[in-house]
Amino acid sequence: METCEQDISAGRAQAQAQRPTAMPVRTGIGLLLCAAVLGLIRLDALWEGGFLYAAVGLAVVLVALGEFAFLAERAGAAASRAALLLGGAALFLAQWAGGALGLFDPWLGGSALVAVMTVGVLTAGVFRARLEGALRSTAVTVTGWIYVPAMLGFLTAIRLDRGAAGLITVLGVCKASSTGAYFTGRLVGGPKLMPRVSPKKTVAGAVGSAVAAVAVALALSRSPWSVMSPGAAPLYGLVVAAAALFGDLAESTLKREAGLKDSGRLLPGLGGMLDMLDDLLFAVPASFLFLQLGELLTAGG
C-alpha cells in the first residue's frame, strides 16, 4: 500500500514538473497521430476486406493486452501473459475473419471462442494444480479478452459494414470528445468530476467533451463521410461523449489500483496504448449499437 502511494505521489510530482510543456507536446504528437491514422484509413479503404485494418488492429490489441497484463501484475492479480496475448489475438482475428471472409458469424464465433478459451484456461489450471491465485488469474485473463479485443470487435464490424466513413466517424467523434475534455479542463478548471478516480477530470471538461463531440458529429454528418443524418448527429455525439468519459474513468480505476499514472510509455504526453484506447473501448460498442438502432428505426419507418 505504501509503495503504491509513493508511486502515485511520484507520478503527480513528475506531471507537475512537466506541466509547462505537457500541452504543446501532447498537442503536437496528437496531431501527428491523427494524420497517421487518417493515412492508414485511406490505405485500408483500397481493400474491401480490411486486411490492413486487421494487421494494424492486431498490433494494437497485442500492445494493449501487454499493458493490461502489466497493470494486473502491479495490482497483485497476475495472469498468464501468453494465454492473454494468444487468446486476444485469436479472438480479434476470428471476429475479423468471420465478417470479412464470411467463414462464420463473427459474433457467434467470437462468443464460442471465448467459451472454449476459458475452458482451456481453467483446464490448464487443473493440471498445474496451483490453487493460490487461480481465480484471480482466470478472471484477469477473461476480462482482458473482453476488455480489449472483444470491444474492438465492434469497430471491426463498423469497418466492414460502413468502410472508411464509419471509422472516421467513430474515431473522429470519440477523439474530439477526449480532446474537448482535455483542453476545456485545462483552460477552465473548476470543480473536480471524480477526484478519487481521476484527480484531473473536471465538470467543465465533461461539458467541453460533449460540446466537441456534438460539433464534430454534426460536421461529419454533413460531409462526404456521413453515416447518419444531421438530426441524429447531436444525440450520437452525446452518447459517444458519455461512453468515452466512462471508458477513461474505468481505465483510471485500473491504473489507480496498480499505482500507475500511465499504462505505458509508448508516446510522450499520451502514455501507453491503453491510455489512447480507453475512451474508444467504451465508445465503439455504443457507436455500433447506435448505428444499428438507427438502421432498424429507418427500416421500420
Query: Which pLDDT score is estimated for 44?
Result: 95
Q: How far apart are CA 33 and CA 41, in angstroms?
A: 12
Considering only residues 15 and 40, tell me which one the structure prediction assigns the higher pLDDT: 40
**23 occurs within a structural domain:** yes
Beta-carbon contacts of residue 53 (< 8 Å; ≥ 6 apart): 44, 96, 156, 159, 167
Contact (CB, 8 A) for 249 and 201: yes
In terms of residue numbers, what domain contains 238?
Answer: 2-294
Type and span of the H or E element at 159:
helix 151-188
Residue 128's CB is within 10 A of a number of other CB atoms, namely 10
Structurally, the chain folds into a number of domains equal to 1
Query: Which pLDDT score is estimated for 32?
Result: 92
Q: Is the pLDDT of residue 7 over 80?
A: no
pLDDT in tens, 246-298: 999 999 999 999 999 999 999 887 899 999 999 999 999 999 999 999 877 66
Local structure of 297: helix, strand or coil: helix
Q: Is the pLDDT of residue 40 over 50?
A: yes
Q: Is the pLDDT of residue 220 over 80?
A: yes
Q: How confident is the model at residue 222 (pLDDT cuts 50, 70, 90)?
A: very high
Query: Which pLDDT score is estimated for 12?
Result: 47
**300 occurs within a structural domain:** no
Query: Which pLDDT score is estimated for 18?
Result: 39
Q: How confident is the model at residue 299 (pLDDT cuts 50, 70, 90)?
A: low
Beta-carbon contacts of residue 85 (< 8 Å; ≥ 6 apart): 62, 65, 66, 69
User: What's at 132, amino acid-wise?
Assistant: E
Q: What value does the mean pLDDT of the chain take?
A: 89
Mutual angle of helices 51-74 and 81-100, in 10-degree steps = 150
Q: How confident is the model at residue 25 (pLDDT cuts 50, 70, 90)?
A: confident
Query: Which pLDDT score is estimated for 132?
Result: 78
**301 occurs within a structural domain:** no
Q: How far apart are CA 172 and CA 83, in angstroms?
A: 33
Q: Is the pLDDT of residue 22 over 60?
A: yes
Query: Which pLDDT score is estimated for 14?
Result: 44
Q: Is the pLDDT of residue 6 over 60?
A: no
Out of 24-33, 134-143, 177-186, 216-225, least confident range? 24-33
pLDDT in tens, 83-112: 999 999 999 999 999 999 998 999 999 999
